[in-house]
Chain A
Amino acid sequence: MTGVATMTEPLLEVEGVDKSFPGVRALHDMRLELRSGEVLALVGENGAGKSTLMKLLSGIHTADTGRFRLGGEPFEATSPRHALELGISIIHQEFNLVPHLTVAQNVFIGREPRRGRLLLDERRLNADAAALLERLHLPLDPKAVVGELTVANQQMVEIAKALSYEPRVLIMDEPTAALNEAEVETLHELIRRFVRPGTGAIYISHRMEEIKRIADRVTVIRDGEYIDTLDMAGASTPEIIALMVGRAIDTDAKPEGVRADRDVVLSVEGLSTKALLKDVSFDLREGEILGFAGLMGAGRTEVGRALVGADRIDGGTITLRGKRIRVANPAEAARHGIGYLSEDRKRFGLLLEQDVRANIALGALRDQFTRAGFVRDRAAREKAREYVGTLRIKTPSLEQTAKHLSGGNQQKVVIAKWLAKDCDVLVFDEPTRGIDVGAKEEIYQLLNELAAQGKSIIMISSELPEILRMSHRVVVMSEGRVTRVLDAAEAGQENIMHYATLRPDENPADAAELGIEVGKAGQP
């Protein structure tokens, strides 16, 4: 690669890339072309494969098959360091800074100027960092400890670090998730200054208006496959969203009418947490499945966690059947009959090394299955057998270890645990994550049966088809707030996406306050 690269010359090319993880095909025949001098937006739903693609480019994973070319030369990044050496800098979605070190120490980590072989040249380190920050117009103190910065400023440190490698390709995964409007503009300024002939940037984001402002073209991927690339100038937001969601909707399977006539079981009013949630209000009716939709980080999971007292609530009220309740921890929530089924069953839902019987009996152990402190094994076994029957749990015996069950049957065991505890409000977080297609149907059927029996269900899901198929009503969230509640009849992929990408307007004072609070919460 000699001579000046022109605007349309391909800088980074990805062709025919496949990547599978045990049981999951993450990418299939993936394609991507970043041209010299452009900002390319990469969009797709949660789980479309964006992060996997980034991990291949940054050398964290290696592709099963496929070709990568940088400036026309084939390459394959084998480690994060290798990717950096090749000229690919990536800012990952999760912060990758060392909180106890200073700004300068973080920016030049792994490349510290030294005096001799062993000793660090701290003065030069700080001087280099100061010069870099000056050049990037970032008003940060090189000696400030990163863990004490606001999240927005931590993001700026990440960017300074990425740009300090003088990369040819800068890739950013949701870089503005924690930024307010002014900070987003600062970031976009930096990107515009960085992109010139010979360099390019890939900008992953869900926020359509941001993409429209910064990107030259947009590539859409879905279900691990390449869909299309559009020129930003000629593309409309509905067009892009339609490409993102793509799938034909199974309209037949929509739930029957809204349960407007049923009693309100749970009423949440103005729920707020320091970290994220702002003024979240909704009602849950008897026999209703209330879907919670939103993009990653919108606060869906946090609502569920706050509701059962797993996270601290800093404002708002929860009313259960007309009585105000306080839930300080999940045990209290369970006493009120609210059960939480975590998205991560293996970590938070099951005793993996224990058998089916022990798992089902765990929650209600003290209420129902003990006498004078000793476990009444027979009672526990009978109850477990009952649920294995009614929930159709496929297990060779009650003594089967939970970890050896399939994902779907594990989920059923968790459901049985809460039912045994007499819970009638069930909060499902990603009820079918990691469950294969056939078993998904069974879980759906089970949820419908539970609702028909009068249980009230909150179903948090990142899968829009699942939300549409199951929910009587859909609560759409964006950035910690409820942006819309849709009835089943009016809910569709497009309007859910619209409300999920809506930026709730914040006045600047609010934003600053939020910034500080988030920054503090991020401290170790």
Chain B
Amino acid sequence: MTAVKAPARDRAQASGGIAAAVKGRLQQLLAFASLIVIFAFFSFASPFFFSYGNFTAILFSTVVIGTLAIGTTFVIIAGGIDLSIGTGMALCAVMSGVFLVHLGLPLWLGVPAAVLFGGLMGLVNGINVALLKIPPFIATLAMMLVAEGLALVLSDSTPIYFNDVPGYTDISTGNLIPGVNFPNAVLVLLAIALIAGVLLTKSVLGRYTYSIGSNEEATSLSGIDVRKWKIAIYAFAGLFIGLAGVMISARLGSAQPATGMGYELQAIAAVVIGGTSLSGGKGSIVGTLIGALIISVLNNGLQIMSIPQEWQNVILGCVILVAVYTDRIRKKETT
């Protein structure tokens, strides 16, 4: 009797219609609801907030953090962490300068090379974590320092300007859609979010990302080469570091070797606010995008309301605590 009854209950749990769907995505919905609330608040609080110009500004300012956050979402879902994304981004920006300015490579070659350089950094992180079994926190902390130093060494501690590289800044600030003021950088972010989202939910790489983060032992016992996939995940996430390096240097028109530090924490914050679990196994690209947007909207809105820069981080910190705490309560309820 019980054997027949029990599955019926499980089925009801799994596909109990809207209620179940809401429960499963609660953290994401909460994040989205918070985004709306914050958005509404600023719209009423400041007459300058609610405008097309400001919306595109918000989206534009989300690009770099968003790109980094999307890549690192994979790493965190797989149960890892990547602290090297901030300074790694600065190094990739410098590498973009080295390829395009110093070596004079054409755009079509130099830009992919800079992106691939990020992938190479990720590959090294992956090898350190998966083969040398160095804890991800330590391995990527070391890479963070290495990247910071290398960026300064390779650039002689001075910015590399892209003034003589025609079309480079258009990657970020140009308008692909003629006549509409919609920066390319935002298109790039939306495109990679789409690709990453598809890969995470519909590809083998994505499936094993969740699987390793959820139960590494079981994944390994199921005959999957966990080491190989971990390396692949870090290398894949590294491509986003490279892309972020290109995007930030294209926006500024220069590669700033000392600007990376701190971005990694903002990106991780975006991932966490978006409902991805730091213990792995759970998370989404949509959530990460919402998380990155919350950070941008907060920064933008607080700036518009002339709240001092210092307070913006205080508020961001509190937002992270609230986001993670609600996630915790939710988990407790289901346990």
Q: Interface residues, chain A, CB within 8 Å of chain B? A: 58, 60, 79-81, 84, 92, 95-101, 105, 109-110, 112, 114, 118-120, 122, 138-141, 143-145, 148-150, 152-153, 161, 180, 182-183, 185-186, 508, 511-512, 515-516, 520-521, 523-524
Contact = CB atoms under 8 A, between A and B. Distances in A.
B214 interface: yes
A99 B281 contact: yes
A99 B10 contact: no
B3 A148 contact: no
B219 A98 contact: yes
6 contacts: A109-B211, A119-B203, A120-B202, A141-B10, A186-B3, A511-B2
Nearest to A143: B14
B4 interface: yes
Contacts of B225: 81
Contact of A81 (B15, B202, B223, B282): B223
A144 B10 contact: yes
Contact of B13 (A144, A186, A511): A144
Interface string B199-225: 100111101001101110111111111
A262 B259 CA distance: 74
B1 A101 contact: no
Contact of A512 (B2, B24, B204): B2
B6 A515 contact: yes
Nearest to B334: A523
A118 B204 contact: yes
B5 interface: yes
A120 B204 contact: yes
Given A99-B215, A101-B214, A143 B15 contact: yes
B221 A80 contact: yes
Contacts of B166: none
B10 A112 contact: no
B84 to A, nearest CB: 26
A145 B21 CA distance: 12
Interface residues of B, number: 41
A110 B224 contact: yes
A437 B14 CA distance: 52
A138 B6 CA distance: 11
A487 B233 CA distance: 59
Contact of B223 (A80, A118, A180): A80
Given A109-B222, A140-B7, A153-B7, A100 B334 contact: no
A308 to B, nearest CB: 22
A367 to B, nearest CB: 34
Contacts of A516: 9
Given A84-B223, A520-B335, A521-B335, A100 B6 contact: no
Contacts of A508: 1-2
Nearest to B24: A145
A112 B210 CA distance: 14
B4 A139 contact: yes
Interface of B is mostly: helix
Given A98-B215, A149-B10, 15 more contacts: A58-B221, A80-B221, A81-B224, A97-B218, A110-B223, A114-B204, A141-B10, A141-B14, A143-B14, A144-B15, A150-B6, A508-B2, A515-B2, A516-B9, A520-B334
Contacts of A114: 204
B102 interface: no
Contacts of A185: 3
A92 B217 CA distance: 12
A152 to B, nearest CB: 6
Nearest to B211: A98
Contacts of A120: 202-204, 207
B281 A96 contact: no
Which A-B residue pairs are the 9 nearest by beta carbons? A81-B223, A144-B14, A96-B218, A100-B214, A139-B7, A100-B281, A98-B214, A141-B11, A182-B3
Contacts of B199: 118
Contact of A524 (B7, B210, B214, B222): B214
A359 B289 CA distance: 49
Given A118-B203, A139-B4, A524-B214, A80 B13 contact: no
A524 B210 CA distance: 14
A99 B215 CA distance: 7
A99 B214 contact: yes
Contacts of A150: 6, 9-10
A145 B221 contact: no
A145 to B, nearest CB: 6
Contacts of B281: 98-100, 524
Nearest to B8: A139
Chain B CB within 10 Å — which of A118, A119, A180, A524 has the most?
A524
Contacts of B334: 520, 523
A96 B215 contact: yes
B7 A98 contact: no
A473 B305 CA distance: 75
Nearest to A111: B223
Contacts of B220: 80
B14 A109 contact: no
B224 A109 contact: yes
